[in-house]
Every structure is written in C-alpha cells, then in structure tokens.
Amino acid sequence: MDKKMLVLDIDGTLTNSKKEITGATKAAITKVLKDGHVVVIASGRPTPGTKKVCEELELHKYNGYVLSYNGARITRLCDNCVVHQKVLDKKYIPEIFDYCVKNDLGMMTYEDNDAITGTRIDEYMELEARINSIGLREVQNFTEYVTFPVNKCLLTKEDDGARLACEELNEKYKDCLSIYRSEPFFVEIMPKGVDKAASLEVLRNILGIEKENIVACGDGFNDLSMIKYAHVGVCMANGCDECKEAADYIAPSNDEDGLCAVIAKFF
C-alpha cells in the first residue's frame, strides 16, 4: 500500500458551521489513520488554535502533523517538535503597522497563547481569538514590544477595506512578503514564499511521500495554493469560487460531512 497524505483545512472544511467535527467525519478520518496514512492539518490558525481539533482526532498517536500560520510553521504532533518554520523580517513590522494606523486597519500577531495588538481591538480580532480559544491583549508600543520570532501578522478590516489593503500592500511588498486574504476581513502577512503548498512540499519531502499521493481539502482563499498543488485538490461545496475553479473534485459541504465523501472516493 502506498502511504497517502490527507491534508485538511479546519474552518469550513473539517468543522461544520458550528465549528464541530461530526461523529461521521471523525470516524472516517480515524479509519484513514488506522490504515496507515498521514493526516495533516493545514490552517491559517496559530498553532495553539489548532490544538483542540488535533487532540480530538488523536493525531499525536498516528504521526500526524500540523501546518499552522498558513504553513509558516510545521509541527510534529507526537512530540510537539517544530520541524520547519519561516519568520518575518522584523524590519517590515513598523512599516506595516504605520500603514494600518493611517488606514484604520487592525493589526495583530501571536505570542504564546495570546493574540496581541497595538491597534484598536475590533470585532474581527475578537472573532480570531474566540475561534482559536486564545487570549487577546492590547500592548503599548507594539513595534517595540514585538521582539520574538513572528510567523504571521494578521490585518483586519471590513471586506472592501481588506481587499484594498491587500492590493496596496502587495504592490509595495510583492517581492519580499506573501500577502493574501484568508477571509473577506482578514489579510495575512507572511514571510515570502509561505503558503500551504510550499509547506506541503517541505513536509512531503521530510516524510518521503510522493506528490501523487496527496489529497488536499479546503474552502477558502488561503487554501487555493494547496488545492492547486495536490494531486487531488478538493474544494468543499461551501468554498469560494476561486477554489472551486481550481479543484479536481467538489465535495459536499462541510455541513454535509463532505470529507466522508472524499475519503470514500480517494482512500
């Protein structure tokens, strides 16, 4: 049997609209694990924000991995070892922070089990903290406070504002940063070359798994790279149009146990 890799986004893919993993989906994934395949969580969430789902699926018992911060960090779950990561060059943080202040965007990053910000706390930051079950703190002198390695910054603004910011920042930093939207109101600021596809290439080489044996499932803007990269790119029926156009297979929605159909078809 060729060992396959099943790669799963969390929100809108693995979990339903209630942010729950259904019993049927969990049972299907457990069978994949027991059959000797590798299950990888690939999420824009910070590492602590993936902990609950990884524990629920007991991935630490089956040599599972998590690609957090959109792939900027790869963690082996059996021993919580960080096997690969990329960090932002800190010189860009003050520049982007100034842009956010001038254009009334929120800006946050992650320290241990907290999200931290130097701008006004808004509803989108609160949503990010709530989804990830992490704290949310406002700090003084944000750019001086951030002395630790940063895998990702997250900018927040309503749809049109986020779209414009993404366009303007990409125009300025396209040669040195990876910048894209993961939700209509989230703009991800990543080290250059970081996306879910790039981290999957690193991980598959570590594990010796052929690209032809990778099935990647997602629904959002930040899943597009891995849907294009995988031998079988899957978009959920609830996914964005761009992902649907790029996908090899459209699965039922996350509220219809869509991953069960994927597993039945490809595993």
- Please tell me the predicted confidence (pLDDT) of residue 180: 86
Query: Are residues 238 and 227 located together in one domain of the fold?
Result: yes
Residue 114 binned pLDDT confidence (cut-offs 50, 70, 90): very high
4 φ, ψ (degrees, to nearest 5): -105, 165
Asked if residue 214 has pLDDT above 90, the reply is: yes
What pLDDT digit, counting tens, does each position of 10-45 carry? 999 999 999 999 999 999 999 999 999 999 999 999
pLDDT tops 70 at residue 1: no
Which is nearest to 112 in space by CA: 83, 134, 140, 92?
134
Whichever domain contains 254, its CATH number is 3.40.50.1000
82 and 198 both lie in a single domain: yes
Compute the average pLDDT of residues 50-68: 97
Distance of alpha carbon 54 from alpha carbon 133, whole angstroms: 14
3-class DSSP state of 40: strand
Alpha helices for the chain (secondary structure H): 23-34, 47-56, 92-103, 123-132, 142-145, 159-173, 196-207, 224-229, 241-246, 258-266
Q: Would you place residue 146 in the very low, low, confident or very high pLDDT band (cuts 50, 70, 90)?
A: very high
Q: Is 95 helix (H, G, I), strand (E, B) or coil?
A: helix
Q: Do 131 and 219 have their domain in common?
A: no
Asked if residue 127 lies in contact with residue 136, where contact means CB atoms within 8 angstroms, the answer is no
SS3 73: strand
Query: What's the domain count of the chain?
Result: 2
Are 81 and 206 in the same domain? yes
pLDDT > 70 fraction of the chain, expressed in percent and rounded: 100
Mean pLDDT computed over 235-252:
97
Q: Which domain holds residue 228?
A: 5-86+194-266
